[in-house]
């Protein structure tokens, strides 16, 4: 089955290869580096193919203005922003509605993982900057933010791991790139905390049959477990490096 877009991009060829030559379940090259910023309390860069995301964490720190603080727990704040040159058309610097919505859903994806009760009346700030966008920026942001939180020494029930799955015709695909994101038939970003088994970000657009929907979820969890291993490895890397010396 070959799937071609209106402007002749081959999304899926007869050999089952995708626009960038990947198999249906193949991930783009992933790189994760933790502790990349001097000023932030925790930080990470996550790259998934052409998508490059930087996350910085500050806190827990005193909340100002004080009336916004919670007496029994910390507040988590998340700001997701894209650089103006991360996309084809220059994005104006002020936050778009998309950036505001993504900030919210990313915050809600991270919140269940962070043990906020340990820091009453404080705030933990997460700032995410998309340096280059090539599909899957929200899931890369969640992967980066959860590493940055761990790097800041904030107690967590587990790392949050995220991936987008979707479909091209009847074919489930994993880790959608920009073109697949735009022209594919469905896109389903998912975040998951492997230790607690909770799904904390769940969105979909496009259409999907109930069977394919189930298949997508199954494939997503499988992939998320793989990415979770990479995250753990990225966190431990600098200490393991010292150990070898």
> Does residue 115 interact with another protein by CB under 8 A?
yes
| Whole-Å CA distances, 68 to 57, 103, 109, 121, 155 | 19, 18, 21, 9, 22
The residue behind tokens 């700030």 is 125
d(CA 109, CA 231) in angstroms, rounded, equals 16
Q: Which one of 15, 72, 97, 211 is in contact with another protein (CB under 8 A)?
A: 72
Region binding another protein by CB under 8 A among candidate stretches 127-135, 166-174, 200-208, 212-220: 127-135
Q: Which one of 5, 132, 171, 203 is in contact with another protein (CB under 8 A)?
A: 132
* Cα maximum dimension of the chain: 60
Q: How far is the CB of 121 from another protein (least distance, A)?
A: 7
> Does residue 112 interact with another protein by CB under 8 A?
no
> Does residue 154 interact with another protein by CB under 8 A?
yes
Q: Which one of 10, 27, 70, 87 is in contact with another protein (CB under 8 A)?
A: 87
Around 133, how many Cα atoms within 13 Å sit in the side-chain half-sphere? 23
Helix (H) or strand (E) holding 30: strand 30-34
Which 8-state DSSP code applies to residue 73? Answer: B
> Does residue 39 interact with another protein by CB under 8 A?
yes
> Does residue 158 interact with another protein by CB under 8 A?
yes
Region binding another protein by CB under 8 A among candidate stretches 12-20, 85-93, 181-189, 203-211: 85-93
Give the residues across from 80 on adjacent strands.
128
Reading the block at residue 106, the tokens are 């990313």
Region binding another protein by CB under 8 A among candidate stretches 70-78, 164-172, 180-188, 199-207: 70-78
Give the residues across from 132 on adjacent strands.
52
In the shown chain, the binding pattern of residues 183 to 222 toward another protein, with x for contact by CB under 8 A and - for none, equals ----------xxxx--------------------------
Q: How far is CA 72 from the centre of its chain?
A: 28
d(CA 96, CA 46) in angstroms, rounded, equals 23
Region binding another protein by CB under 8 A among candidate stretches 13-21, 104-112, 165-173, 233-241: 233-241
């Amino acid at each position: 089955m070959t799937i071609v877009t209106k402007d002749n991009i081959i999304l899926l060829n007869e050999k089952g290869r995708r626009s960038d030559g990947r198999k249906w379940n193949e991930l783009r090259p992933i790189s994760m580096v933790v502790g990349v910023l001097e000023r932030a309390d925790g930080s990470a860069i996550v790259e998934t193919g052409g998508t490059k995301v930087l996350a910085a964490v500050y806190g827990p720190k005193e909340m100002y203005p004080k009336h916004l603080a919670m007496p029994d727990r910390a507040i988590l704040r998340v700001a997701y922003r894209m650089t103006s040159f991360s996309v084809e058309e220059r994005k104006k610097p002020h936050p778009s509605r998309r950036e505001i919505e993504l900030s919210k859903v990313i915050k809600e994806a991270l919140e269940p993982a962070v043990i906020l009760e340990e820091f009453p009346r404080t705030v933990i700030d997460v700032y995410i900057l998309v340096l280059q966008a090539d599909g899957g920026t929200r899931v890369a942001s969640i992967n980066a933010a959860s590493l940055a939180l761990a790097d800041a020494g904030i107690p967590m029930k587990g790392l949050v791991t995220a991936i987008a799955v979707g479909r091209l015709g009847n074919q489930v695909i994993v880790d959608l790139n920009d073109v697949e994101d735009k022209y594919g038939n469905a896109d389903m970003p998912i975040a998951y905390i492997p230790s607690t088994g909770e799904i904390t970000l769940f969105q979909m657009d496009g259409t999907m049959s109930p069977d394919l929907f189930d298949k997508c979820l199954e494939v997503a969890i499988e992939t998320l477990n793989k990415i979770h291993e990479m995250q753990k490895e990225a966190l431990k890397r600098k200490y393991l490096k010292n150990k070898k010396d």
